[in-house]
């Protein structure tokens, strides 16, 4: 790479991904970095807004938190912790509806940005099998309503349907399904008899599919920390943003190598985080140059040539 990270990594350098598309064995995990491109707020912005709401909301003439507590919370850089604490405060004072309304507002996109950078269309163009840790509904336009799965009973290793969209952290509007607080993460990823079905579901995906993570950061791999050390039979890739000559790439690559992930770096020096849209747009075009029909025809031709 001449120490320069490319704006758009060449998908032809990652033949396992292209092969997985053609054999219908590509599983795409969609993270929060994807929805931010169309104007959804990130966990940092949501946490800040929830803290402000705790400060401005009153019960019996008294604020839910005072200014000192507000300032302490704002200085904390652990956004999951901030969100967990604010949820506990709203729940304590029976203001859960304020929490959820603030959260759902954060999941709304900017219509102009979505029109300009419809990244979900490009992701769908990868022709993979889709799993998301996002609670928003922006990918739903590509799926019939009965093909959207978000309940625990839907995560069945014996009934994985690659035509479905799986929300493994729940779906907005269904509060009992959501995974967003520290306690809900612990519950979701704690190995127990009750939770074994979910782990079997993930295990089958990681064992049988080539996995591509899109829109994830270093701190967002709860799934990997729990199951990857045991299951390394298939390839795992993650598209990751860096500056053009970012020294972090070398060191983070070493970290990811140890947990069996191949980083695919791309430069955000020119287009900031919106560059992910252009990467996926390019990949979608490259992948769809070779349709399944064409691929099957080539395979059949090669087979005939071998026989003769």
Q: CB neighbours (10 Å) of residue 63?
A: 14
Tens-digit pLDDT profile for residues 62-120: 999 999 999 999 999 999 999 999 999 999 999 999 999 999 999 999 999 999 999 99
Residue 292 pLDDT grade (very low, low, confident, very high; cuts 50, 70, 90): low
pLDDT of residue 174: 97
Q: Mean pLDDT, to the nearest integer, of 30-42?
A: 95
More confident residue, 267 or 232: 267
Phi-psi region of 241 (alpha: psi -120 to 50; beta: other; left: phi over 0): beta
Residue 233 has pLDDT above 60, yes or no: no
Residue 54 pLDDT grade (very low, low, confident, very high; cuts 50, 70, 90): very high
Residue 301 pLDDT grade (very low, low, confident, very high; cuts 50, 70, 90): very low
Helix orientation angle between 96-106 and 79-92, rounded to the nearest 10 degrees = 140
CA Rg value for the chain: 21
Tokens for 241, please give them: 């943003």
Q: Mean pLDDT, to the nearest integer, of 216-238?
A: 70
Quote the strand ranges of 36-146, DSSP E.
Answer: 58-59, 62-63, 129-132
* Rounded Cα gap, residues 294 and 290, in angstroms: 6
* Rounded Cα gap, residues 214 and 220, in angstroms: 11
Q: What is the pTM of this model?
A: 0.89
- Phi and psi angles of residue 204, each rounded to the nearest 5 degrees, phi first: -65, -40
Residue 293 pLDDT grade (very low, low, confident, very high; cuts 50, 70, 90): very low
């Amino acid at each position: 790479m001449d120490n320069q990270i490319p704006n758009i990594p060449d998908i032809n350098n990652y033949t396992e991904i292209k092969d997985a598309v053609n054999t219908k064995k590509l599983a795409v995990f969609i993270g929060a970095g994807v929805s931010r491109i169309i104007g959804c707020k990130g966990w940092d912005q949501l946490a800040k807004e929830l803290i402000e709401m705790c400060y401005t909301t009153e019960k019996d003439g008294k604020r839910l938190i005072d200014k000192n507590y507000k300032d302490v919370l704002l200085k904390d850089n652990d956004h999951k912790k901030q969100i967990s604490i604010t949820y506990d405060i709203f729940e304590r004072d029976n203001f859960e509806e304020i929490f959820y309304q603030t959260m759902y507002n954060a999941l709304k996109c900017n219509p102009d940005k979505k029109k300009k950078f419809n990244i979900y269309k490009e992701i769908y163009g990868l022709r993979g099998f889709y799993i998301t840790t996002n609670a928003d509904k922006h990918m739903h336009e590509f799926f019939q309503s009965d093909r959207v799965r978000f309940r625990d009973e839907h995560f069945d290793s014996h009934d994985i349907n690659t035509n479905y969209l799986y929300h493994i952290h729940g779906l907005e509007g269904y509060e009992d399904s959501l995974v967003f607080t520290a306690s809900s993460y612990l519950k979701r990823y704690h190995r127990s008899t009750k939770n074994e079905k979910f782990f079997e579901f993930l295990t089958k995906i990681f064992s049988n599919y080539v996995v591509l993570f899109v829109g994830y950061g270093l701190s967002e791999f709860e799934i990997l920390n729990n199951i990857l050390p045991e299951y390394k039979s298939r390839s795992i890739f993650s598209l990751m943003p860096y500056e053009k000559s970012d020294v972090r790439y070398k060191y983070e690559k070493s970290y990811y190598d140890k947990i069996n992930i191949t980083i695919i770096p791309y430069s955000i020096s020119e287009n900031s985080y919106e560059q992910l849209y252009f990467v996926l747009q390019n990949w979608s075009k490259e992948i769809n140059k070779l349709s399944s029909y064409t691929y099957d025809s080539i395979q059949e031709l090669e087979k005939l040539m071998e026989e003769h």
